Structure 1
Amino acid sequence: MAGHPWARRLYSAALLALSPLIWRRAWREQLPGRPRAERLGAIPAAPSGSRTLWLHCASVGEVQAARPLIEALRRRYPRHRLVITTMTATGAERSLALVEKAAERGDGGEVSHHFVPLDFPGAARRFVERLAPDLAIFFETELWPNLLAACDRRGVPVAVVNGRLSPRAFRRYRRLGRLMAEALSHVAWLGAKSAADAERFQALGMAPDAIRVTGSLKFDLAPDEAACEVSERLRRDLGERPVWVAGSTHPGEEQAVLEAHARLCESRPGALLILVPRHPQRFAAVAELCAARGLVTARRSADEAVTAETAVYLGDTMGELAAFYGAADLAFVGGSLVPVGGHNLLEPAARGVPVLTGPALANFEDVAEALREREALVEVADAAALAEALQALFADAPARERLAAAGQAVVEANRGALARTLAGLEHLLPTE
């Protein structure tokens, strides 16, 4: 085995030293009725004779991006149970929603969810032993050294799919060079989003012959029929007024969005903002922020009516962002006016909704570049620029139509990552 096990031992010692802080964070990321012992790998043992695929995603965004892969794995491996793990409670909720849909359709194998264990050596070993997967799939940048080592110890092949490393993440991981080299030595196959990502993984120690550039699975996101129905119903209810969405917003960003909306309303008094904060624990605070600005606000979670006087519709529910995008004339994707790195620009683009974003796009630079090349992205620097762009686009229907068509064309032109990813996985686990 290549790598430096001593680096992992130092890493494990550091985790144990920081365990009170780590456990405090994990304590907050919980769902009612779910045992916290899952965080220590204490899950039920796999049923005798069962076959298991394990897919790990960090949070709700990764679960959403992985949806095409989840559906494809269920169809390709119907005799395997698919276990999805997440780190966050929001990711768990999104996973459980997919589990419910899978059960309703009944067109593939069983799907279930666990919280991923904290990366302590004993917890990782216990989890992998009890789960006993035939294949472990880690999504994007979820590289947990002890979990990867536990898979190797049990002879479980590991794949990383939709692999990405932003320049910032690469610099951070490179400071842990020996630890990352050992972690990547346990990965049998890696599907990178881009050639640049592949080069960064190779620089960290990933074997070149185990890397393939597959493209981004986000381009293969299929329309959700249920979300489309909600979009149509919501748009009918909202009427002909100008509607825009600010999705996946973060602290400091809502203020800019609300300021831009206030300026828009000076020229478009009937305009409606659908505001969707990224994290549910902030829903109440954002509602208070809207009230403090004197904006008439309706909350989705309370089923409050949107009237002609309503200025802001607060999307304080989980799993409905795609439906909100589909009901809008324009979409601003958050995490981009603050140094977060952006969120999925393709969700609105795939629905034929013009996309606006701030400048902080480190996590989606490849997607942003594809949209830029087709002039399918409007980039703004601050609240004033956002307001100006909104006013211009609401006054120019042909421009909105061009942006919408260009965005959809980008999505269609870049599909194919799913097929390339499945082909790579088949080398590790042949199709049934």
Structure 2
Amino acid sequence: MKLLYDIGLKAYKTAIALAAPFHPKASLMQQGRVQQFERLQEALQGNTAPIAWFHCASLGEFEQGRPVIEAFRSQYQGYKILLTFFSPSGYEVRKNYAGADYIFYLPLDSPAAAQRFVALAKPRLAVFVKYEFWHYYLQVLQQQGIPVISISAIFRPDQIFFKLYGGFYRNILRRFTHIYTQNQISAELLQQLAIFQVSVAGDTRFDRVLQTAAGVKKLPLVEAFTQQKDVFMIGSSWPADIEVLLPLIEKYKDSIKFIIAPHEVNPKSITALMATLGAGAVRFSETSEATASAHAVLVIDNVGMLSSLYSYGTYAYIGGAFGAGLHNTLEAAVFGLPLFFGPRYEKFQEAQDLVRLGCAFPVKTSGELLTAFEQVHTQPEHRQNISETEKQYVQKQAGATSIIMTDIQQLLNPTA
């Protein structure tokens, strides 16, 4: 299995190199790793402060880890923070994040890369967020006695760790000093593998969305667009989501304002979306406070506004669940918005919880979406109950950051 792991990584590296001339994301991933060890060495030259290393795969995991990063920075001001990403969708958006001192792509996992990276960074602590399980990095960290924890981890019985042939990957998990899971089921699955360095802390995203909601940004152009009407927010959408949403948009565009923040905001994707929507839709970058209200649909063609946009919503549709998987529902749930999304949500504990509580409605077709929406839209008291239940749920789930930080203090100061 280790041989397959190595072959898979080499194949991935080759695929990125071949795709780079044709695919912007692959190009960014390749360019970002050019001479990265030399750049890391130069950045760290002369540093004498201890380093805490936080690693996130992408932007979603960064937002998940951010409460812990910022709590650590506040509590351990003598430390420098090294933040790494695997994907361009995280690095390119947060490469200027002020909460970290050094921000880099993570070199692809290999014996040489892991040895060299850890030798340069010399972290006192490593924190991997959610799904990041890299064999050689964890091996080197363990060999050098550097505490390494996994936060907001979630596990399911169908994952490779729990297969008969998954021994190699089970051993990767055993290299963590501690694993903080989102739920009890995940902890029990690990304990069945005799992995006992586990605690149920919850999901740090709840802490993050509460922080975001408390500091939400005012968006004057959006306020001018909405005209205090009901607003249907569509976040992180893909073409498959828009196809399902079109009949609803057409039916209600005269009485409800629609805001669409697509997952992909490159020119090609935005142009295609505008063509699909037709008349009545306008790009955020091509309107103004004076003219925005004349349109029924506002398309957000930038990155970074979504969490604040939800504060203007009355309802929200979250994209991704007709494809690889549902995007972040909590950014909308913290504002108490009734939620709608596609059928592929089972991997997300919070989505399962919100469906069970009657706050979220998975749909498979445009007809199902219209039916579910109208049941909420035509019953204001029902909508209010959903909102209150949802807000209470988010509040009750908060606190993972505090649990993790208490244990980090013990890891860094075991005699305290």
Q: Same fold (TM over 0.5)?
A: yes
Q: Distance in 2 between the 1:187 and 1:247 partners? A: 35
Query: Residues 115 and 226 (structure 1 numbering): CA distance in 2 closer, same or farther, change over 3 Å?
Result: farther
Equivalent residue for 1:347, pick from 317, 320, 331 = 331
Residue 41 to residue 191, structure 1, CA distance change in 2 (3 Å): farther
CA contact (8 A) 2:221 2:288 kept: no
1:198 — aligned with what?
187
Alignment partner, residue 63 of structure 2:
64
Partner of 1:107: none
What amino acid maps onto 1:379 in structure 2? Answer: P
Partner of residue 106, structure 1: none
1:79 equivalent in alignment to 2:68: no
The farther-off stretch of 406-415 and 306-315 is 306-315
For 1:352 and 1:126, the matched residues in 2 are separated by: 47
CA shift for structure 1 position 56: 0.9
1:277 corresponds to 2:266: no
User: CA deviation digits over 1:222-265, x for unaligned, max 9?
Assistant: 33379623257633542123311111123422211223312333
Aligned partner of 1:360 in structure 2 is 344
- Report the Cα distance in structure 1 between the residues aligned to 2:57 and 2:169, rounded to whole angstroms: 18
Partner of 1:152: 142
Supply the distance in 1 between the matched residues of 2:285 and 2:132 (Cα, whole angstroms).
32
Whether 2:303 is the aligned partner of 1:314: answer no
User: Closer, same or farther in 2 for the Cα pair 1:129/1:183, shift >3 Å?
Assistant: same
Residue aligning to 2:241? 253
User: What letter corresponds to residue 156 of structure 1 in structure 2?
Assistant: I
Equivalent residue letter for 2:309? F
Runs of 5+ unmatched residues, structure 1 = 1-6, 103-109
Q: Alignment length, in residue pairs?
A: 408
Shift of 1:88: 1.8
- Which amino acid is the alignment partner of residue 334 of structure 2? A
Question: What amino acid is the match of 1:139?
Answer: V
Match of 1:371 among 340, 348, 354: 354
- Distance in 2 (CA, whole Å) between partners of 1:25 and 1:430 is 46
TM-score (norm 1): 0.84
CA contact (8 A) 1:350 1:408 kept: yes
Q: Give the letter aligned to residue 238 of structure 2.
A: H
Determine whether 1:235 maps to 2:223.
yes
SS of the counterpart of 1:134? strand
Give the 3 Å change call, closer, same or farther, for CA 299–176 of structure 1 in structure 2. farther
* Contact 2:341/2:361 (<8 A) preserved: yes
Matches of 2:39 and 2:19 in 1, distance apart? 18
1:329 is displaced (CA, Å) by 1.1
Alignment partners' CA distance in 2, 1:136 and 1:344: 25
CA-CA distance at 1:129 after TM superposition:
1.6
Partner of 1:180: 169
2:313 to 319, 328, 331: 328
Change (3 A) 1:40 1:272: farther
- Number of the residue aligned with 2:41: 44
**Equivalent residue of 1:362, what SS?**
coil
In the TM superposition, what whole-angstrom CA distance separates every residue of 1:2-26 from its partner, at most 9, and x where no partner exists?
A: xxxxx43552244335531144467
Shift of 1:426: 2.6
Inter-partner Cα distance in structure 2 for 1:133 and 1:50: 10
Q: Which residue of 2 aligns with 1:263?
A: 251
CA distance in 1, matches of 2:287, 2:106: 33
Unaligned segments of structure 2, at least 5 residues? none
Hey, what's the Cα distance between the residues in 2 that align with 1:111 and 1:397? 48
